[in-house]
Amino acid sequence: MLAAWVDARAPRLGVSVSGGVYAVGCAAVGALLVHLRPRNSIGWLLVSVGVLQTLSVGSNAYGGYGVDVAEPDWPLAHVVAQVGAMAWLPSLVLPATVLVAIYPSGRLPARWWRWPVGAVAAGLAVLTALSTLDPESYDDVVRSRPAPVSLPPSAWTTAALAAAAAAVLGGALVIWAGTAVRLVRARGVERQQLAWLTVVVLPLMVVVFVVPVPNWLFAGLAWMVPGSVLVGVVFYRLLGIVVSRALVYLALTGAVVLLYLSLAAAAAAAFGRTLSPVTGAVAAALLAVALSPGRARLQAAADRFVYGRRRDPVAAVTELGDRVASAPEGDLLPAVLDTVTAALRSPAARVVPPGTAPAAEGAVPVPLRVGGQDVGTLVVAQRTPGEPFTSADRQLLAVLAPQVAVVVRALELTGALEQERVRVLSATQTERDRIRRDLHDGLGPTLAGIGLAVQAVQAQLGDRADPGSAALLARLKDEVDAAVGEVRRILDGLRPAPLDAVGLVAALQRHAAALSSTVPVRVTAEELPPLRPDVETAAYRIAQEALTNVARHSRARSAELGLRARDGHLEVAVADDGAGFGPADPARCDGVGLDSMRTRAQAVGGDLTVTSGPSGTRVVAGLPLEVSR
């Protein structure tokens, strides 16, 4: 705050407000780690960095303004200016060297690391002490007066500075090389933690010592140092720390408020330099009001990041409805559970049968009821061990539970309907097989025997039969033959005879050969697994009908029939190069043949797709190889 105040009134002093922001970030994250793990050195190092940077920024602001601007001088301003003149150096070098060496465990990886870390620490101490006594360092802060204490240039000071710089540089290079080796050898979480810090430190060092950049860019990179440590704590549980959501929420809320106040203060300072006091105050107040909706949105985003949708149940229910509307049936329940876990920031959720006790300790069971009937229990795991759900979380669960119950009940009914369909299909097939056996082994031979008997009587009587008897025998013979033909037709309808005689592929090849005079058909078939009788019959009838339609209506020069097994389905595809048809031809689009093929496919749990255009028509039936359970 002092730096911002001085910068607003005396910009020529060049006080680093961004350095103050960096100091606050390091001190805050370091204090958090010290509170949670007081014996770990990472937190104390960050606190030290924050104190050093605070000393640097504060001394520059207090000393520079107190000596060069204030009338009279502020108390001890010239001494404060010299004491903190070079405190910025260790505050930037320590995170890039010592912090990298002890991160993420808080201890050195091996005993030999003490040498480069010690070299950096000793060199920094010498550089900071000697540079603080250098008149040029004091002149960077106070320009109007000489330093209270100065060290005259000499050969030994130059040699000491050179040796200290070499120690710092050499130690830093060894630390960075060792860290590169650690990064390559590390696995899992440790590699992620190291990567977060190293990708921040290198750009920061380049910005500080090589490439001059604007203050806002330096502030962003500097803030990323404590930010990367904070990421290690929150996302990778650095040092075994499980951060409570209340603490994270408090930190995010504080950051939002700090950002809001910083923008408002910056606007006030800007208006204060260009407008009159009253006009500037009014303009700053209006700007603060204009920024309020943005602050509210950031606050809502922080709340949603930490606690999910607990403060906006309507949005949670809307999101759940959108997932239900868009998810495929097979992924419907996982999509619903994902929405519940995202809304509550819970690691897992599942649905168990009614009355089942949750296996995980701390999990919250919520009964699911539809129409007064228990359909299951929604079990939601707690976010982290020792962090129970709040009353607001339970209220959100109570709002979401009825929606989940409806989905669970719908899936139960769908499963029951599918099982009933399978049962009906199985019973129908069994009955058809029984009728077919009875006709084939009972009625069929009986009628054939009657026909042979009539033929024997006709042959016995010969020309001796009177006209009336001969006519009666001929009529009887015709009716018996007709009955035998009807039985054969019924048998063929129950299951085509060629399937029993030669099998599916050979039967379709025979049918294709019969159509060759109208349109040549090429039959290709991969090796097929054993097929259920109903699927084999449906495949034969669909292919037969499709090829018949090609011969009758397509005016095609050639056609192709393909059979293959893919992903648990038998694919029957018939394609031709004929004229095709479009929506303007309803007789072709909705004809009896297409409806018959679609009905046969659906009867065994499959589907039928028809695509047609000027280049031809393609009919594809997908029939399940196994009965759905």
**DSSP symbols for 47-114:** HHHHHHHHHHHHHHHHHHHHHHTSSSPPTTHHHHHHHTTTTHHHHHHHHHHHHHHHTTTTS-SSGGGH
> What is the percentage of the chain residues whose pLDDT exceeds 70?
71
| pLDDT at res. 350 | 84
pLDDT of 278 strictly over 50: no
Residue 404 has pLDDT above 90, yes or no: no
Query: Does residue 229 contact residue 33 with C-beta atoms inside 8 Å?
Result: yes
Count, residues in the chain: 629
Over residues 558-575, the mean pLDDT reads: 90
Beta bridge partners of 572: 563, 621
Whether residue 574 has pLDDT greater than 90: yes
Say how far apart CA 603 and CA 609 lie, in whole Å: 15
Q: What is the mean pLDDT of residues 609-616?
A: 86
Task: Give the pair of three-digit tokens for residue 605.
Answer: 């749990």
Q: Which residue has the tokens 């009001």?
A: 289
Q: How far is CA 469 from CA 458, 464, 478, in A?
A: 9, 10, 14
Burial of residue 527 (number of CB atoms within 10 Å: 0-12, 13-18, 19+): exposed
Which range, of 169-178, 186-195, 332-341, 516-525, averages the lowest pLDDT?
Answer: 186-195
Residue 554 gets which letter from DSSP? Answer: I
Three-state SS for 166?
helix
Q: What is the structure's pLDDT at 562?
A: 92
Contact (CB, 8 A) for 532 and 621: no
Out of 23-27, 128-132, 440-444, which region has the weakest mean confidence (pLDDT)?
440-444
Of 91-105, 170-184, 281-295, 468-482, the poorest mean pLDDT is in 281-295
Q: Give 424-458 pLDDT, tens digit per residue.
A: 766 776 776 677 666 666 776 777 777 778 778 77
Distance in angstroms between the alpha carbons of the first and the last residue of the chain: 70
Helix axes 533-549, 504-514, angle to 10 degrees: 20
Q: Which long-range contacts (CB under 8 A, 24 or more apart) does 254-257 make?
A: 255/302, 256/295, 256/298, 256/299, 256/302, 257/295
- Whole-number pLDDT of residue 573: 92
Per the model's pLDDT, the better-predicted residue between 240 and 233 turns out to be 233
Mean pLDDT of the 553-565 span: 88
Overall average pLDDT of the 496-507 stretch: 82
- If DSSP states are collapsed to H, E and C, what string results for 188-236? HHHHHHHHHHHHHHHHHHHHHHCCCCCHHHHHHHHHHHHHHHHHHHHHH
Distant-in-sequence, close-in-space partners of 257: CB < 8 Å, separation ≥ 6: 295
The reported pLDDT for the residue numbered 240 is 45
Q: How many CB atoms lie within 10 A of CB 469?
A: 13
In this prediction, residue 563 carries a pLDDT of 92
What would the two tokens of residue 414 be? 């769908």
* pLDDT over 70 at 315, yes or no: yes
**pLDDT above 90 for 473:** no
CA distance 261 to 4: 12
The H-or-E segment that residue 621 falls in is strand 616-624
Q: Which residue has the higher pLDDT, 378 or 243?
A: 378
pLDDT confidence of residue 437: 66
Instruction: Determine the Cα–Cα distance for residues 324 and 335; give it in Å rounded to an integer.
Output: 7
Query: What's the rounded mean pLDDT across residues 460-488?
Result: 76
Whether the predicted pLDDT of 52 surpasses 60:
yes
Average per-residue pLDDT in the chain?
Answer: 76
Specify the pairing of strand 521-525 against strand 364-370.
unpaired
Compute how many other C-beta atoms are within 10 angstroms of the C-beta atom of residue 151: 14
* pLDDT computed for residue 591 by the predictor: 47
Tell me the average pLDDT across 483-494: 71
Phi-psi region of 555 (alpha: psi -120 to 50; beta: other; left: phi over 0): left
